[in-house]
Amino acid sequence: MNRARVLLLNAALGPLDYRIPQGAEAEPGSVVLAPLGPRQEVGVVWDPERLQTEEVGDNRLRPLLHVYDLPPLRPALRRLIEWTADYYLSPIGAVLRMTLPSSSALDGARTVTEYRATGKVPDRMTPQREQALERIGERQGLVRELALAADVSDGVIRGLVKAGAIEAVEVSIDDPFPRPDPDHHPPRLEAAQQTASRQFITAVQGADFAPYLLDGVTGSGKTEVYFEAAAEALRMGRQTLVLLPEIALTEPFLKRFTARFGCEPVAWHSGLRQSQRRRAWRAVATGDAKVVVGARSSLFLPYRDLGLIVVDEAHETSFKQEEGVQYHARDVAVMRAKLEKVPVILASATPAIESRQMAEIGVYKEVRLPARFGGARMPDIEAIDLIQDPPPRGRWLAPILVREMEANLQRGEQTLLFLNRRGYAPLTLCRACGHRFQCPNCTAWMVEHRLVHRLACHHCGHMMPPPRACPECQEVDSLVPVGPGVERIADEVAALFPDARTAIVTSDTIWSPAKAAEFVGRMEAGAIDIVVGTQLVTKGYHFPNLTLVGVVDADLGLSGGDLRAAERSFQQISQVSGRAGRGAKPGRVFVQTHEPAAPVISALVSGDAEGFYEAETEARREAAMPPFGRLAGIIVSSEDSTEATETARLIGRTSPRVENMAVFGPAPAPLAMLRGRHRQRLLVHAARSLDVQNIIRDWLGKLDWPRGVRVAVDVDPYSFL
């Protein structure tokens, strides 16, 4: 009899055995539909010897309902899914879900019905309908997608369809993607670029695992170099995956890719419509999508024939997923490359200490681009001592920086002010009684967003209009903003330079690739003089006329310092500095700080990156911190504070005694409450040689806790909040 062991897309379940019906074929990797109680669930047939389950007699097996007409998931991907589940202590079904994110991609339909506005005004207009039409604009999508975008119910959209204001359109999802042409417009590489690209091309041809660290200063032309490796993969007919840390970077990437290869690559990110997602997924699986550019989730797609992986801006901590399966995309990318037997290139101007260390011990090959492309100079970085040269009261920009901005404006050059804080002010308080506005669900201040006239929690999204009177003492008009966010800096800029054209760039203003494209277009056309932005604008962009960068508060990243605070500050300020003077005109950077002598600042000013990294690396080595030791966070949370505390204590009390391992805590997490859940943390610190995952699995596996308690293990944590 024909049995199949099946992993369902269900994190709560282990593998289950089914009967393969007569005449059907279901080899490991096949995507199937299986009965589960009264329901049906999608799953994947797995190698039976790799997953244990309770033996069920042949006579009790239920038959599979359907085997989808799709290429089976390849063994390398199945091993990657197992490895990820194992390493990050996550249910394997939750990992599998990242490979098969939309079950609608599975059925063979060639078209889907989407909807869009017709421009006709319905006979009967309601506020809801008005809102829907206004927000839908040019958008097209499923009823559900439009309803979500417009923040109305599905019923409102359907009503508008009946009224003729929205119409149905058939969209083909089987249209092939255009083929990028490796010889469309090859660049003339400089000597250092040549040497680097030749190594990568040889590695792609070698079709074997080879991890590279591409360490090149900002503006050195790293992208052009790894494009040559992608071109080689294209010539061989193989697929390339390029991972980017955020979707805002996708747009400039698409443009450059198109200039080099003659058409766009296939994009994969959370902003895709269902139909786009489905088309992309199928094209990845059939091998039709030759180059995929995507956020971290594109790592788990079922590539038919992967030939190369690139992780751009590989030092970015946003590659670490902080919810669900808490994996680090950079590390999983290296593992996928190993399993697929292909080269992987980690590209960065400011590589993470973890990656540098791998290069140091010879695991990664380091390829350097020490100078900017085309003879452009690295910018000069100067510190502004905020104690000696403070801004006037109630302002945030020091006189030196303001003078530089003025001169830059007069020259017709562009300026970027960087402050990693969204909104107008990080804290609002009552002048009369000192009441501070806190999120009801989180241990966090409500952040004022003046542009949308709201107080918002950046952790859970809770919003409220700023009240006229203080809820505590009822005093009217007594609320004052404390500290600056980008909106407040933009106000200051407007007051200083009323004629300058200013843009605020944060995830509030650039929330889609289209918005990013619009911003890039305006910058390139010279329609913006001064950009005020968060970390969103610190990387990837190339604006030759941007010559002045001001870092508003260089100390911000160092406060509340965790293990990587100094490193992250250094990377962030180096990256934002790297936006200055990328073309013919030289760039200057001014860094405002209260501590000009801090190691991070003095390293930036003197340009001594090596010295800074060496000192940081030494400190990590001495403390046996990553990459010299291992960490794992254990986060216990519950809506019931007592349950959370008791469970955390139970875990602490039962911690195993293992040599070279210490368990700290439990203690209330710095974010003691998040989305209404009380949080306690423990931290496991162990020697590299220990198999921490196994120890934790055994330890927690023996314990029981109340149903409402969640225990999440964060292996190799980046957040300690």
Binding string, residues 530-549; x marks residues near Zn ion by CB under 5 A: --------------------
- Token pair of 650, please? 């139970």
The least distance separating ligand ADP from the CB of residue 188, rounded to whole angstroms, comes to 6
d(CA 215, CA 713): 32
Which of 66, 459, 515, 621 forms a contact with Zn ion (CB under 5 A)?
459
Pairwise CA distance, residues 200 & 202, whole Å: 5
CB atoms within 10 A of CB 519: 23
Work out whether 460 is an interface residue with Zn ion (CB under 5 A): yes
Q: Are strands 239-243 and 306-312 parallel, antiparallel or unpaired?
A: parallel
Using the contact rule CB under 5 A, the part of the chain among 5-13, 60-68, 169-177, 433-441 near Zn ion is 433-441
| Parallel/antiparallel/unpaired status of strands 39-46 and 31-36 | antiparallel
Tokens representing residue 582 in the block: 């990328």
- Return phi, psi of residue 154, to 5°: -55, -35
CB 550 within 8 A of CB 613: no
Stretch that binds ligand ADP, among 155-163, 211-219, 238-246, 624-632 (CB under 6 A): 211-219
Among 223, 317, 355, 647, binds ligand ADP (CB under 6 A): 223
Choose the one of Zn ion, ligand ADP, none that binds residue 441, judging by a C-beta under 5 to 8 angstroms depending on kind.
Answer: Zn ion
Task: Supply the DSSP symbol for 660.
Answer: T
By CB under 6 A, tell whether 252 contacts ligand ADP.
no
Using the rule CB under 6 A, is 221 a contact of ligand ADP?
Answer: yes
Among 97, 269, 279, 462, binds Zn ion (CB under 5 A): 462
| Nearest distance in Å: CB 442, Zn ion | 3
Given ligand ADP, Zn ion, none, residue 442, with its beta carbon under 5 to 8 Å by kind, binds Zn ion
Kindly give the residue spans of alpha helices, DSSP state H, lying in 624-656: 641-653
User: Within 13 Å, how many C-alpha atoms sit on residue 182's CB side?
Assistant: 17
136 binds, among Zn ion, ligand ADP, none (CB under 5 to 8 A by kind): none
- CB-based contacts of 15, cutoff 8 Å, min separation 6: 5, 6, 7, 46, 51, 52, 53
Distance CA 598, CA 603 (A): 9
Give the C-alpha separation, 205 to 208, whole Å: 8
Site residue total, Zn ion (CB under 5 A): 7
DSSP state of 446: P
Considering only the stretches 182-190, 231-239, 387-395, 443-451, report the one whose residues sit in contact with ligand ADP under the rule CB under 6 A: 182-190
Residue of 64, 439, 446, 530 that binds Zn ion (CB under 5 A): 439
Assess 348 for contact with ligand ADP (CB under 6 A).
no
What is the distance between the alpha carbons of residues 175 and 677, in angstroms, rounded to a whole number?
Answer: 46
Binding window for ligand ADP (CB under 6 A); candidates: 156-164, 186-194, 458-466, 647-655: 186-194
Q: Is 571 in the site for ligand ADP (CB under 6 A)?
A: no
Estimate to the nearest angstrom the gap between the alpha carbon of 647 and the chain centroid.
31
Is 672 a residue that touches Zn ion (CB under 5 A)?
no
Quick check: 665 binds ligand ADP (CB under 6 A)?
Answer: no
CA atoms of 396 and 386, how far apart (whole Å)? 10
- The listed partner (Zn ion, ligand ADP, none) that binds 638, CB under 5 to 8 Å by sort, is none
Q: Residue 451 binds which entry of Zn ion, ligand ADP, none, with Cβ cut-offs from 5 to 8 Å by kind? A: none
Q: Do you find a cis peptide bond into 666, omega within 30 degrees of 0?
A: yes
Using CB under 5 A, which of the segments 59-67, 353-361, 457-465, 653-661 binds Zn ion? 457-465
Residue by residue, what is the 3-state secondary structure of 332-359?
HHHHHHHHHCCEEEEEECCCCHHHHHHH
Joined tokens for residue 686: 């162990």
CA-atom Rg of the chain in angstroms:
27
Q: Is residue 373 close enough to count as binding ligand ADP by CB under 6 A?
A: yes
* Contact call for residue 368 and ligand ADP (CB under 6 A): no
Which one of Zn ion, ligand ADP, none is in contact with 276 (Cβ closer than 5 to 8 A by kind)? Answer: none
For ligand ADP, the binding residue among 60, 124, 162, 188 (CB under 6 A) is: 188
Grouping H, G, I as helix, E, B as strand and the rest as coil, residue 597 is coil
Q: Closest separation between CB of residue 257 and ligand ADP, Å? A: 11
Residue 187 contacts which entry, ligand ADP, Zn ion, none (Cβ below 5-8 A, type-dependent): ligand ADP
Q: Is 585 in the site for ligand ADP (CB under 6 A)?
A: no
For position 195 contacting Zn ion by CB under 5 A, the verdict is: no
Q: Is 454 in the site for Zn ion (CB under 5 A)?
A: no
Amino acid at position 315, single letter: H
How many residues make contact with ligand ADP (CB under 6 A)? 15
Binding partner of residue 459 among ligand ADP, Zn ion, none, CB cut-off 5 to 8 Å per kind? Zn ion
User: How far, in Å, CA of 456 to CA of 462, rounded?
Assistant: 6
Asked if 220 touches ligand ADP (CB under 6 A), the answer is yes
Residue 93 touches which of ligand ADP, Zn ion, none (CB < 5 to 8 A by kind)?
none
**Contact assessment for residue 299 and residue 333, using Cβ atoms and an 8 Å cutoff:** yes
Q: Which is nearer to Zn ion, 21 or 560 (CB)?
A: 560
CA dist., res. 6 & res. 652, Å (int): 36
β-pairing verdict for 111-117 and 140-141: antiparallel
- Residue 671 contacts residue 684 (beta carbons within 8 Å): no
Phi, psi of 108, rounded to the nearest 5 degrees: -85, 5
Residue 443 binding Zn ion, by CB under 5 A: no
Nearer to Zn ion, 439 or 644 (CB): 439
Please report how close the Cβ of residue 672 comes to Zn ion at its closest, in angstroms: 12
Residues 537-566 that bind ligand ADP (CB under 6 A): 542
481 is a site residue for ligand ADP (CB under 6 A): no
189 binds ligand ADP (CB under 6 A): yes
- Residue showing the smallest CB distance to ligand ADP in the complex: 221
Phi then psi dihedrals of residue 530, to 5 deg: -130, 125
Range list of H helices, 153-221: 154-162, 191-206
Q: How far is CA 307 from CA 182, 223, 232, in A?
A: 14, 17, 9
CB of 223 to ligand ADP, least distance (A): 3
Q: Does 218 interact with ligand ADP (rule: CB under 6 A)?
A: yes
Which chain residues interact with ligand ADP by CB under 6 A? 187-190, 193, 216, 218-224, 373, 542
* List of residues contacting Zn ion (CB under 5 A): 439, 441-442, 457, 459-460, 462
